[in-house]
Structure 1
């Protein structure tokens, strides 16, 4: 009963952001059900960084098609435990014979040893990422982002190549990779190049697919997830003013990744068919709708101090402060897009998804990028005092592969850590 209540609550919250009671991918899930069953039943699946919102939603979908092995790697031990409890409490039952969770860093020697210890996988899905624009506040955080999103992925591909992996490799991307305005978006665009280009590992021999998609409503670390927490902690809600975003539910995110990982054509990026006129929503409207869902009337503030002070004054009155802030922090995009300049999306075989053919970077540029980043990290590990790296150097590394980043990057002295 509690599980059903939690599921119903998640659907209610998702409806606030998406306005949809049913998944937009329901038709595709029905259409591809036979193919999903044929390709997943009895197969071996490795999911990396899959204890978070998107990964766990995808694992939930895949587990229903009865793979013979389902192995999940994630450094977050607490979320791994929660994933196990959720799957084993599923009302539909859980019938994966070889189910394992491992609290590993996917770029560590332990992961390489584990991959070589196992029989080759049929599917490898990678959800591990530093995925927030908030995380590019300084060069140190950005180096960690590049290490996680680029170098560790290159390392993982090499290890899979060593283990004779010949199945399908999927790594989740983001809408922010299309014409990136942030280093985070740029790192995910470079991630696409690392996985598709073949320059991380020669003669890989696997099919490779990815997906870019919208914000996942009330997912871990998201602005919307902060809304119920702010209420619980008697703090104001906050949202950027005049800012529109696309949203999918966690159920839709899991279905999208499953369809992409299993059914999308090789060397393609899957994107949802979301219309600006129909599906873009104002973040401030979502915040207002959330408060109204709790039977609270939003009181608008533009000053952070006044909004914080108003919380205690408004508590118990049926009203709640909502702080609206300008969109003037580094890397924040005023609008979302899934297809970059020079790319084109085609319908393919899906009803609610389009596919984008991977557009390659200049030959050799990805190999040089990987080598440059590896040299930076090797120098930082030397016994002599390391040379500091600044944002301009990292921007030049990105621009060597994506020259347009010099124009599309949105610079600002302000970061999201300067906001509530």
Structure 2
């Protein structure tokens, strides 16, 4: 059996311990002061990053933890995992709710609590595949932007001491609608920074996160299906543990209007095909390279499940929204490389006038109110708001590939 955490350390991050351990140790006193005895709300807490954030936060002993997520099964597994972990601190007041943070019942819960000291929002459409057509685009923007504003208005009534909303490296010079929506989210939360402290983080792909291509390798293997991966797309990677620690540090130690990112160099970027090679070799397989999806599927069907030859199909990326490489910041942003050993900080993020955001929301809502709006129309609205939004429509999406 493959130990995924060990595999990530040896072949992907190539770090035996988290890169954020030194910053956590150096700031333990402040983290304890800010978290211990505090009321915490985590939205989207059943996902990979949200649940990792919870595990990073709990050792500092908050007095209350409320977790909201639309995945009832995910919340169940989160609870079982926390309560099955030796030495894990869980506050006596620990509750989970399988609801959307845009539901009226969420507002009832929030008002009953009269707010929280620490609020972290991980609810998001995070996949590039979420821009297949105009309907998937509307759902993506609704979740990442429009619902987020409703949350911010609610928070303004009961201001938290710390508010964090997760972003992505794809928000820097975005080329897909998901990245564009996260760039808007950054502008949106910064517009509320005069009401309460806000911070966010752009970070790398989380290795073997829920729904990711790497997590799919495990599923394909269990079903004896071929593995497929792009050979030309380079990405930064962090472990699930590291993803939660980034967010905790940015949330609690971040100052108002700051964006955090991990200090990773270009030499640490990897292609998915290289990771796939390591994955199969570690399991003792010999790679059988195929020239097409069809050949790979046929080989899997015809080959005995005990065979040590495993079919893979590596391809050049040709779908809408894929970026050849990732970046965490853009020219003109004020960078601080000195405050933390493992994190860079974008300081004094510029605030866009709320009038510009109001216009954007009006344009989006007007477009979504029409039954015949198009994806191209939404792209043009985003281009008007995001000067460096370079969206290229290729006519093919990830749902059309293995």
Name 1:167's counterpart in structure 2.
161
Is 1:233 the equivalent of 2:223?
yes
CA contact (8 A) 1:14 1:218 kept: no
Alpha-carbon distance between aligned partners in 2 of 1:306 and 1:166, rounded to the nearest angstrom: 55
Alpha-carbon distance between aligned partners in 2 of 1:108 and 1:369, rounded to the nearest angstrom: 23
Is 1:146 the equivalent of 2:136?
no
Alpha-carbon distance between aligned partners in 1 of 2:325 and 2:223, rounded to the nearest angstrom: 30
Match of 1:132 among 120, 127, 133: 127
Match of 2:112 among 90, 93, 117: 117
* 1:70 CA drift (Å): 0.7
Is 1:180 the equivalent of 2:174?
yes
* 1:348 CA drift (Å): 4.3
Alpha-carbon distance between aligned partners in 2 of 1:323 and 1:28, rounded to the nearest angstrom: 40
Q: Deviations over 1:61-95 (max 9, x none)?
A: 11111100110000100000001111111211323
Q: Deviations over 1:14-48 (max 9, x none)?
A: 53322222111111111111111110000011000
* Matched position secondary structure for 2:74: helix
Identify if the C-alpha distance between structure 1 residues 223 and 14 changes in structure 2 by more than 3 Å, giving closer, same or farther: farther
* Matched position secondary structure for 1:337: coil
Alpha-carbon distance between aligned partners in 1 of 2:4 and 2:290, rounded to the nearest angstrom: 28
* 1:204 CA drift (Å): 5.3
Name 1:322's counterpart in structure 2.
312
Alpha-carbon distance between aligned partners in 2 of 1:387 and 1:312, rounded to the nearest angstrom: 44
Name 2:375's counterpart in structure 1.
391
Alpha-carbon distance between aligned partners in 2 of 1:103 and 1:52, rounded to the nearest angstrom: 12
Alpha-carbon distance between aligned partners in 2 of 1:14 and 1:53, rounded to the nearest angstrom: 17
Identify if the C-alpha distance between structure 1 residues 348 and 401 changes in structure 2 by more than 3 Å, giving closer, same or farther: farther
Alpha-carbon distance between aligned partners in 2 of 1:240 and 1:249, rounded to the nearest angstrom: 20
CA contact (8 A) 2:364 2:378 kept: no
Give runs of aligned pairs for residues 192-207 of structure 1, distance below 5 A: 192-198=186-192, 205-207=195-197
How many residues in Structure 1 have an aligned counterpart in Structure 2? 400
* 1:281 CA drift (Å): 1.1
* 1:326 CA drift (Å): 1.3
Is 1:83 the equivalent of 2:73?
no
Alpha-carbon distance between aligned partners in 2 of 1:171 and 1:93, rounded to the nearest angstrom: 25
Name 1:272's counterpart in structure 2.
262
In structure 1, stretches of 5+ residues that fail to align are 380-385
* Matched position secondary structure for 1:96: coil
* 1:114 CA drift (Å): 1.2
Alpha-carbon distance between aligned partners in 2 of 1:362 and 1:266, rounded to the nearest angstrom: 17
TM-score (norm: length of structure 2): 0.95
